[in-house]
């Protein structure tokens, strides 16, 4: 998945569940969107603030202030269903997660994108360093925090393991080669999934990666003693992939996207 700043803006009135159901993985991985967010101008601002926050160029408080100012300027009102002209978006109680201006919503987005950017950078570094990939060919999925409601990631691991046929992954320990498709399968599991092939695989998740040394990967049967598994990473946004993503949009969604973008481009 490309970093936030590289992804194409995708305004949508759909809920998170509808986005997962209606947009295929290629669209979601190559787009920057937020549930019930129809304004391209705000999404660009949100994408830029996520990028700046992830790089340490702006504090979370300042990012949230800037985003609320943008929402105010666009006439956003959660209690009337969103932006002026929006249709079919249910009203949101101010301060709740569905309110685009709420702290809980902005905090979730900024933290998720920060973690995603950091792990995308790790994946890119692994792909560019064959020696490092030889010394640490795998990642272990491990909890790095103390969530209020811990999810059973061993159950998720088993489901993802079955979905990818166990390729490059251990069936019991949550360890897999950096090239294993199990990471993408984890990002597709459950209604809280992010659609990402690197952490966070689910929203509000404290699970993250630890490098696994070669000796352990060999012991677990994931790699041969002299094998150097490749780590593929393409951070670019190819024209063919963009075209494919747009081809998968319904005529109504594509027309709405073009109409919205025409106001700002």
If you write DSSP's letter for every residue of 176-234 in order, what string do you get?
EETT-THHHHHTTSSTTB---SSS-SBTT--EEEEEE-HHHHHHTTSS-TT--------
Q: What is the pLDDT of residue 38?
A: 94
89 and 146 co-located in one domain: no
Instruction: Give 235 or 188, the one with higher predicted confidence.
Output: 188
242 and 171 co-located in one domain: no
In a domain, 47, yes or no: yes
Q: What is the pLDDT of residue 43?
A: 96
Report whether pLDDT(243) > 80: no
Report whether pLDDT(88) > 90: no
User: Who's near 92: CB < 8 A, 6+ residues apart?
Assistant: 78, 79, 98, 99, 100
52 and 107 co-located in one domain: yes
136 and 71 co-located in one domain: no
In a domain, 209, yes or no: yes
In a domain, 147, yes or no: yes
What are 37's strand-pairing partners? 12
Secondary structure of residue 244 in the 3-state scheme: helix
81 and 151 co-located in one domain: no
**What is the count of structural domains for the chain?**
2
104 and 55 co-located in one domain: yes
In a domain, 124, yes or no: no
257 and 176 co-located in one domain: no
12 and 98 co-located in one domain: yes
Domain extent at residue 150: 131-219
213 and 240 co-located in one domain: no
Report whether pLDDT(5) > 60: no
Report whether pLDDT(264) > 60: no
In a domain, 176, yes or no: yes
In a domain, 231, yes or no: no
In a domain, 122, yes or no: no
199 and 258 co-located in one domain: no
Q: State pTM to two decimals.
A: 0.81
39 and 98 co-located in one domain: yes
Take residue 154 and report the two structure tokens written for it: 């061993």
In a domain, 118, yes or no: no
145 and 58 co-located in one domain: no
């Amino acid at each position: 998945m490309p970093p936030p700043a590289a992804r194409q803006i995708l305004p949508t009135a759909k809920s998170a569940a509808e986005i997962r159901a209606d947009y295929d993985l290629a669209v979601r991985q190559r787009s920057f969107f937020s549930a019930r967010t129809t304004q391209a101008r705000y999404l660009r601002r949100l994408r830029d603030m996520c990028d700046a926050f992830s790089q340490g160029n702006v504090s979370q408080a300042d990012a949230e202030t800037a985003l609320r100012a943008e929402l105010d300027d666009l006439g956003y009102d959660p209690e009337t269903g969103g932006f002026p002209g929006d249709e079919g978006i249910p009203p949101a109680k101010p301060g709740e997660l569905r309110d685009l201006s709420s702290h809980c919503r902005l905090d979730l987005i900024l933290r998720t994108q920060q973690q995603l950017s950091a792990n995308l950078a790790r994946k890119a570094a692994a792909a560019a360093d064959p020696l490092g990939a030889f010394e640490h060919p795998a990642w272990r999925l491990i909890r790095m925090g103390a969530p209020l409601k811990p999810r059973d990631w061993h159950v998720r691991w088993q489901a993802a393991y079955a979905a990818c046929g166990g390729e490059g992954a251990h069936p019991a320990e949550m360890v897999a080669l950096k090239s294993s498709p199990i990471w993408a399968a984890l990002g597709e599991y459950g209604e809280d999934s992010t659609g990402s092939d690197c952490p966070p695989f689910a929203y509000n998740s404290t699970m993250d990666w630890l490098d696994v040394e070669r000796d352990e990967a060999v012991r677990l049967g994931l790699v041969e003693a002299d094998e150097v598994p490749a780590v593929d990473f393409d951070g670019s946004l190819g024209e063919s992939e963009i075209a494919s993503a747009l081809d998968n949009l319904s005529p109504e969604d594509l027309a709405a996207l073009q109409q919205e973008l025409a106001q700002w481009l």
